[in-house]
Amino acid sequence: MSAGSAAGGSRSAAELERLRSRVAAEDWWHAIELAPGLLTPGWWDLRPTAARVPWPGSLAGLRCLDVGTMDGFWAFELERRGASEVVAVDLVDPRRQDSPCGRSAAASAPTPAHELRGRRFELAARVLGSRATYLDRSVYDLDPEDVGEFDCVVVGYVLQMLRDPLRALEALRGVCRGGWLLVIETVSAPLSLLPAPLARLNARRGQLEWFVFNRAGLREAVTMAGFAVEEMTGILRDAAGPAAAASALAPSVRARHALGLLGRSVALRARAPR
C-alpha cells in the first residue's frame, strides 16, 4: 500500500472533503493519487509511464535524485519503490529557467506567488507523509560537494527544456558516480524512424522547448555525457491527466496528438562510470 493510500484511509470524510477543496484550488502539472479516490487534477498522468520505465530492480536502501520535480510525481514514485532518501530539485521561480531571447518574462516584476513552484510539492508531500527533500537548484549547478552523490537519478521531461542538455547531463554524471540514470523524455516519433541521431530545434512551437530528440539522438546525448546506456523502451504514449481532459484543445492540437506528432516519449536507463 502506498503512503497516500495509508494516509487517505485514516482520514474522516470531512477531512477528505477539506483536502479535496484544497487540492482543487491549485493548478497541478502532475496527476498524483493523494488518497483513494483523490487524484490531483494535473495535466499529465505519468502512472502508465512509470510502469514502463526500465527501473534498475529494487530501489530499497538507495539515495535518489529527482531532477525538475515540479509537483513531485517522480520523487514520490521513487519513495513508493523503496528509496531510503529522495532529494527533489527544481527552480522555484520559473523565470530562472532557460528561455529563448525575446521570450523571457519581464525581470522587473516579481513572479506571482501562485506561479512559484514547490507549493504543490509541499502539499502533496504532507498529505502522503513523504520524507522527500525539496531544493531550489538548477540542474547545471548540481555539485557533489553540495548535494552529495546518488545511487539513482531520474530526469523526467527536463532535457527538452534546457538550452544545453549535454551540460546538464555532465552535471548529473558528477553526482551519479557508479549509479543509474533514468531519463524519461519527449521524442519526435517521425524522426525516430530514422537511424541517425537527430534533434529538432524548437520542435513544438509555443512550448518553450529547445530540443526534441529522436530515439537515436537521446541515446547519443546520454552516451556523449559519459553514461553507458543499458536499456531503452520503444516509443510510449503519454497519458493526459484530468486537466487536459477537461480543457478545450484546438482541433489542430488533437490532430497532432492523434498522428503521433505530440505526446510521445521514451524511457532510458544508463549506468554512470565509477
Domains of the chain, first to last: 46-271 (3.40.50.150)
DSSP per-residue string spanning the chain: --HHHHHHHTS-HHHHHHHHHHHHTS--SB--EEETTEE---SEE-HHHHHHS---S--TT-EEEEES-TTTHHHHHHHHTT-SEEEEEE-SSGGGS---TT-SPPSSSPPPGGGSTTHHHHHHHHHHT---EEEE--GGG--HHHH---SEEEEES-GGG-S-HHHHHHHHHHH-TTSEEEEEEEB-TTGGGSSS--EEET-STTS---EEE-HHHHHHHHHHTT-EEEEE---EEPEE-HHHHHS---HHHHHHHHTTSSSEEEEEEEE---
* pLDDT for 63: 98
**Maximum alpha-carbon separation in the chain:** 57
pLDDT, one tens digit per residue, over 224-263 is 999 999 999 999 998 989 988 777 666 665 555 555 456 7
Instruction: Using a cut of 0.85, tell me whether the model's pTM lies above it.
Output: yes
* pLDDT for 128: 96
pLDDT, one tens digit per residue, over 188-218 is 988 999 999 999 987 665 567 898 999 999 9
pLDDT, one tens digit per residue, over 140-178 is 999 999 999 999 999 999 999 999 999 999 999 999 989
* pLDDT for 99: 82
- Confidence category of residue 5, pLDDT binned at 50, 70, 90: very low
The region that residue 258 occupies, defined by phi over 0 for left and psi between -120 and 50 for alpha, beta otherwise, is: alpha
pLDDT, one tens digit per residue, over 78-98 is 999 999 999 999 999 998 999
* pLDDT for 257: 53
pLDDT, one tens digit per residue, over 96-124 is 999 876 555 555 568 888 788 999 999 99
pLDDT, one tens digit per residue, over 35-82 is 988 999 999 999 999 999 999 999 999 999 999 999 999 999 999 999
